Amino acid sequence: MQKIPFLTLEQVKEIVKTYPTPWHIYDEKGIRENAKRLNEAFSWNKGFKEYFAVKATPNPFIMNILKEYGCGVDCSSMVELEMSDACGFSGKDIMFSSNETPIEEFKFANDLGAIINLDDITHIKYVEEVCGKLPKTMCARYNPGGVFTMSNGIMDNPGDAKYGMTPDQLIEAFKIMQSKGVKHFGIHAFLASNTVTNEYYPKLARELFEFAVRIKNETAINVEFINLSGGIGIPYTPDSEPNDIFEISNGVKKAYEEVLEANAIMDVAIFTELGRYMLAPYGALITEAIHEKNIYKHYIGVDACASNLMRPAMYGAYHHLTVLGKENEKASEVYDVVGSLCENNDKFAIDRKLPKIEKGDYIYIHDTGAHGFAMGYNYNGKLRSAELLLQEDGSVKMIRRAETDKDYFATFDFCNIMDKYLK
């Protein structure tokens, strides 16, 4: 699979006249087409709803685009709840999935009418105390323990994850909640991350459907919605094939029919909670090559750093690089492409074959639309970059300005030391 930028060098040269690099940019057309595709794939389920994982790309402009396609939001913190509220999401359009949750966040989620997704059985009492009583609708997070494996060798380790309840705990939690007036129940699970396979969702769905049958048999509770959460990945490397959302959905439908409908459990709504799948391919980080260094290795220094995109530094994640304007040139050089942080892991690429890069070249870092800007930070006093939107008509709109030194200094509150910079 060839990775093709959604921006050309000519477009970038025009944009930098107004917005100096580095910046993140999102492709509105791609986002909209993908949201339509997801809804079409799951149209067989009349209760289907995507709860966009705000943590992936917390920007109101992006959230409002997805809202047009019936998406709700999945929130994990007070600020994400506040942002969702400000964007007009309310009630059952908000899923609050948190862990080790401060008490005031449970209260605020309840005030908004959000669906609270409990991470632990002990949180039942916690929510009841802060809210006065339990909401009529509740969800619980399921963790089966052990190792979750797929036939293609992909595996993850739920038993080593801090999230969710054991199956026995979750059933006990439902019994307790039912005794306290809860009427509507849902279950949720996230058992593997960034899976580039059509097998993951159907396998997870079958396991959750079978668990819903067990819940009905042991408690007489009908699970009304099942949240398959996230985990559908994208092909970060050019040699990987993308997931087929229609094949994935057909696999979920088959499990739905064979497990739920076969056990007379009908009209269960399927929820998803996708971030990476919804946004990652439709975002890029644009950075300029500003230095070249030759010592034991050949380095290209750029004006972005791990503060703009943490994933490669944090866990060695691969992001494809395109040297704009040189898409058809031979990859004749081997570079480490690095940022300016005082950390040796501040590298966007290691031993990467690329066309010869000159200072002033613009590098397009692919697939940063999710968990890109969102994971930014201020180490070394680095400032977060702007976020731009490439609109369907080809124009560019700033949807978050770049931070300034005034933003960085504004939280200091001692002796007016920084006043000269705040004026």
Token couple for 401: 């300005």
Q: What is the band of 193 on the pLDDT scale with cuts at 50, 70, 90? A: confident
Instruction: Name the residue type at position 350.
Output: I
In the chain, what are the helix, strand and coil shares in percent, each to the nearest 5? 35, 25, 45
Range of the domain at 221: 28-280
Last residue within a domain, chosen from 233, 257, 280: 280
- Specify the pLDDT at position 214: 98
Beta-sheet pairing, 396-400 with 386-390: antiparallel
**CB contact set of 252 (below 8 Å; sequence gap of 6+):** 42, 201, 202, 205, 228, 270
- Specify the pLDDT at position 160: 75
pLDDT tens string 246-286: 999 999 999 999 999 999 999 999 999 999 999 999 999 99
Last residue within a domain, chosen from 256, 280, 304: 280
- Specify the pLDDT at position 162: 85
| Torsion sign across C-alpha atoms 78, 80, 85, 86 | positive
Token couple for 81: 């709840």
The stretch 202-220 carries a mean pLDDT of 97
Residue 301: CATH number of its domain:
2.40.37.10
CA distances to 38, 148, 276, 303, 369 from 196, rounded to whole Å, are 16, 15, 12, 31, 17
**Residue 10 forms part of a structural domain:** no
pLDDT tens string 386-395: 999 999 999 9
**Residue 237 forms part of a structural domain:** yes
Q: Within this chain, do residues 255 and 145 fall inside the same structural domain, yes or no?
A: yes
Q: pLDDT at residue 151 above 70? A: no
Residue 139: CATH number of its domain:
3.20.20.10
Give, rounded to a whole angstrom, the gap between the first and last alpha carbons of the chain.
51
Task: Please state whether the predicted TM-score (pTM) of the whole model is above 0.85.
Answer: yes
Number of domains in the chain: 2
Q: Within this chain, do residues 90 and 145 fall inside the same structural domain, yes or no?
A: yes
What residue has token string 């050949």?
Answer: 298
Q: Within this chain, do residues 273 and 372 fall inside the same structural domain, yes or no?
A: no
Q: Within this chain, do residues 241 and 365 fall inside the same structural domain, yes or no?
A: no
Q: Within this chain, do residues 47 and 166 fall inside the same structural domain, yes or no?
A: yes
Establish whether 342 is a catalytic residue. yes
Q: Within this chain, do residues 39 and 137 fall inside the same structural domain, yes or no?
A: yes
Last residue within a domain, chosen from 280, 307, 333: 280
- Specify the pLDDT at position 199: 95
Instruction: Name the residue type at position 262.
Output: A
- Out of 75, 131, 305, 342, the active site residue is 342
**Residue 39 forms part of a structural domain:** yes
How many C-beta atoms surround the C-beta of residue 14 within 10 A? 11
Would you say 297 and 250 are in contact if contact means Cβ atoms under 8 Å apart? no
- Specify the pLDDT at position 415: 53
pLDDT tens string 95-147: 999 998 999 999 999 999 999 999 999 999 999 999 999 999 999 999 998 77
- Specify the pLDDT at position 410: 84
